[in-house]
Structure 1
Amino acid sequence: MKIETLPLPPATTARRHWKKGAALLLVLLSGAGWYAMKARATAATDAKAVKDGAAVAVYELSKADVALIKRRELRLDLPLAGALAPSEMATVKSKVSGVVLEMRLQEGTSVAAGQVIARLDAADQRARVAQMQAACDEAQARLSLATKNRANSQALLAQNYISQSSHDTSQNSVELAQASLAAARAQLDMARIALADTVIKAPLAGVISKRHVQAGEKLAPDMPVATIVSLRQLNLEAQVPASEVPRVKIGQEVRFKVDGFQQRDFIGQVARISPTTEAGSRSMVVYISVDNRDASLRGGMFAKGAITTEKSAPAPLVPLAAVRQVKGASVVYTISAGKVALQPVTLGLRNDDDGIAEVKTGLQDGATVIVARLDAVKPGQQVRIGAAPTVAPAAAAATATSASKG
């Protein structure tokens, strides 16, 4: 007997398909819920990481944004400029007439005090000396004769052989002879001086700046022979506005530079101050003494520098750009251990031209201050100088997570 399997009714088949679909849908919904919960947890973790990273962010500052505090003097200077002039200069002139026999020194030659510059023909002066010597000898002989006559008259007067008036005459002869001898000796001294003046010597040590005569020329009295300039001491003559003169005091230090010596600073001192202003200007001339023992400077050179009118003792100096006013007090932002701190300071002497000020209290040598105006940098902020910005580990993890999601 053959048994055949009959097909299931349509309703039974539909019921089985529905059960399978419901199970699959339940699995899909469960997986979607699990993924949603995981995404929320991941987002919360990322948000917290980003928040933590922002709290510890390190700002980068360039080297131009900060300054290192150094301990040194602060000077208040008054600018000036002027020309250098020798403090001693002499034009040597001939005292006697005569022909120049010798004149060997040229311009630029150094001479010592008392060194021979020129020699004149001294024949006339030697003859004059001989003449005056003869006159002196003659006066001496007359004095000797008058003295003997006075002695004889004195003896005769004692024996009453002559009158008192005769004796007075002999006494007068002695006095006249003495006067003649003195005059002759004076004339002899003058002749000897004239003879010595035929040898012309330098009155001071220096350098020949100009030679006025040549060998063979005839000189008359008071004619110039040579000009000598002493370079051991120079004067810097500079004009200062009359309004600034009260700041200038004798003895103040002056630092200046000269064309051709750009790498060298020269030092002088205020020696004199003119009592009146210069004609056509409202300036006064200040004379500055400059020691020039090495003879590196020359007269007529142009100098430019400044008078130090006030100077502080060595102290920490802070740029004025770093100083801020908070509630009427002066403060600066310092950097210590990578963090910004607000530091009150007490300022002393200020130099507005150079933009620095003396710090009485509040800063030490070697401190670092912020000079730039950075609104985002506040006290307590972490900073780094001259390096790439630092990212905190939490922030770095958050960034990596975001990148992997993207």
Structure 2
Amino acid sequence: MKRWVKWAVALVIVLLIAGGVLRALSARKAQQQALAASSAAPDMGLVELAATDVVKAQVREVVQGLPVSGSLKAVNSALIKARVAGELQGLTVREGDVVKAGQVIARIDAAEYQSRVRQAREQAESAKAQVDVVQRQYDNNKALVDQGFISKTALDTSLANLNAAQSTYKAALAATDVAAKSVDDTILKAPISGQVSQRLAQPGERVGIDTKIVEIVDLSRLELEATLSASDSMDVRVGQSASLKIEGSRKQVNAVVARINPSAQAGSRSVLAYLTIDNPGVSGTTGEGSAPPLRQGLFAQGTLGTAQASLLSVPVSAVRTDKPTPYLQAVENGVVVHKSVELGARGNAGGDEVVAVKGLADGALVVRGEIGALREGTKVRFTQQAPAAAAPGPAASAAAKPAP
């Protein structure tokens, strides 16, 4: 009897243990299934976007061309140097000051050069007096020769002395002019109107010949030196326009090809093109204007237009490439849809860099690239009134057509 009880108790214990194990396995399996289902289900969360966070895909007049970049440089500039040595005086202009052509910028101590002028004049007067003496001797000897009192040789000697005295006098006059010019050279004047970009010397400093004193730039016209490959240079012509973005400025600036270097650079075989820019912030050469002026040395980059076409396009920044094929994050019926697209020509439209696309409806709303990646199927709610989007339909073609 006792043995039967023991077996019964053991059987109950085994059954209880088996039941607990089965319940644990079932719970774990259910948990794994729920986790898998939750990870496989799409994230249908809600994202709020402003109306400015999307852009409409539309046909734009796209200017196709070549990328150009470089630093801005004033078309007209002048470097004032000392033409005589001496102590620099009267230099009051500083960087940023506006100067006019012919304005006195500084002076060099002229005391020594004025003394040289006086010395040269005294020597010229002495040479003139010597000419007068020799001239009288020549006249007397000529009269004596006519009367037969002296030989012709003596007259020739007098003539040679007269010629020498006259040459000495002319040299003295030239030395006087040189000394006078040195005095004039002590006055340093601005050769052009503009603004002082560098002051390279200080008042009271002893300067030598060709010492740099002041640099002046005329900011009314700036120039960009663009380096083109040999093949690209074949498409560039004088008069073509370019749209540039300037460092530190959000506005687009227009430039025009003014010159093309007729010779390729040695070694690289590249060709230099020079684009001129009218500075909107400078009125004439006063350095003042209604808009902030562009500065020499700022970096500029943009597109030199060589062709124009009507293309269905979107901003380049909106195209995403984190999938095997490029795609756009479109908003259709309040939901994010990933639209695979075929990219075409790039260019500039209204100051923005755009790219032609195929596989997207004209008028579709596209999320800007600054927003980042959004999961497909995410619901979208606009905090402001969103731009009207075209109804989803067949993908529009991005084929180019000649611009009018």
Q: Shorter-chain-normalised TM-score: which range?
A: 0.5 to 0.7
Aligned with 2:346 (options 350, 353, 365): 353
- Asked if structure 1 preserves the Cα contact closer than 8 Å seen for 2:63 and 2:348, the reply is no
- Number of aligned residue pairs: 264
SS in 2 for 1:232: strand
Distance 1:352 1:212, change over 3 A: closer
Deviations 1:142-173 (A, max 9, x none): 11222222222222222212211111111112
The correspondence of residues 6-405 of structure 1 with structure 2, limited to 5 A, is 75-273=63-261, 275-276=263-264, 284-292=271-279, 294=283, 296-310=293-307, 317=310, 319=312, 352-353=345-346, 371=362
Unaligned runs of at least 5 residues, structure 1: 1-63, 322-350, 357-369, 374-384, 389-406
SS of aligned partner of 1:251:
coil
Secondary structure of 1:105's counterpart equals coil
Identity of aligned residues (%): 32
Contact 1:80 1:304 in 2 (8 A): yes
Change in 2 beyond 3 A, CA 1:238/1:149? same
Determine the C-alpha separation between the residues in 1 that align with 2:196 and 2:175.
Answer: 34
The whole-number CA distance in structure 2 between the counterparts of 1:320 and 1:104 is: 56
Q: Which residue of 1 aligns with 2:12?
A: none
When you count helix as a share of all residues, which structure comes out higher?
1
* Worse-superposed segment, 130-139 or 113-122: 113-122
Kindly indicate whether the alpha-carbon contact (under 8 Å) linking 1:85 and 1:234 is maintained by their aligned counterparts in 2: yes
CA distance in 2 between counterparts of 1:230 and 1:355 reads 30
CA distance in 1, matches of 2:260, 2:176: 46
Which TM-score applies when normalising by structure 1?
Answer: 0.57
Between the aligned partners of 2:227 and 2:347, the Cα distance in structure 1 is 22
Name the CA distance, whole Å, in 1 between partners of 2:158 and 2:260. Answer: 65
Q: In 2 relative to 1, CA 101–372 (structure 1 residues): closer, same or farther, beyond 3 Å?
A: closer
Q: What is the alpha-carbon distance in structure 1 between the residues aligned to residue 303 and residue 69 of structure 2?
A: 8
Larger radius of gyration: 1
| CA shift for structure 1 position 283 | 5.2
